[in-house]
Amino acid sequence: MKRDKPIIGVTPLWDDAKRSIWMLPGYMNLLKACGALPVILPFTSDPTDVAALVDGLDGLLLTGGHDINPAVYGQTRLPSCGPANEGRDTLECLLFSKALERDMPVFGICRGLQFINVMMDGTLFQDLPSQHPSSVRHHMSPPYDRPIHTVDVLAGTPLAGVVGESVLKVNSYHHQGIDRLGEGLEAMAVAPDGLVEAVCMPLRRFVWGVQWHPEFMWRKYAQQRAILRSFVDVCRQGLDSHTPPDLETLDMSTP
């Protein structure tokens, strides 16, 4: 059966108290608004099952959430590091490896950016306030659909081509961040305190990550929509021609 919408797998969030997966609607609504069919992926550590999941996808979105276990990037956990989730770390390791093997488009948000970095042998600051103190507010309070600081978009990068600006206003809700940049990755945006806020993998069809949260800002800020639309457009390649819906005519009454 021919499809006119790319299917994008979205990694699930995990509720420790309820022992249950869950999802923020912003991720799903943003992808749908950009013309994709998002699906929430299950928790599994079976490599065969993960390979089957990836075979049914056109793209992969790595969401925010728990801190990554420092053991994944060869460090001992500091007291200031937040709780990790072994199941999610395992799932995303398998998913990302298979997606990379197939040259599938991948987009990472917040933790997703950090996970891409550690998968490419990079490291993280386990706790920015204690390891990378600065005046930049990286952990804002609600509402999250507003900018809290700026990032410098590096000239000549794919991100610069999409947003058309050298400075971008972003929201921010994280206490970890990139320390050593992973192999094969290039920075696309940097915060005023030097923290890398967006990356890409130039030798792959599309592997991007951003430290901020466009799933909260996309309704108000066209550049945030454009960033995710560029991802969906690459995921759509190979499908029948399809024009994404006009974002200005969509019903925005639901979150």
- What residues are annotated to the active site? 110, 213, 215
- Measure the CA–CA gap between 64 and 214, rounded to whole angstroms: 11
Cα angle 113, 234, 202 (rounded to 5 degrees) comes to 55
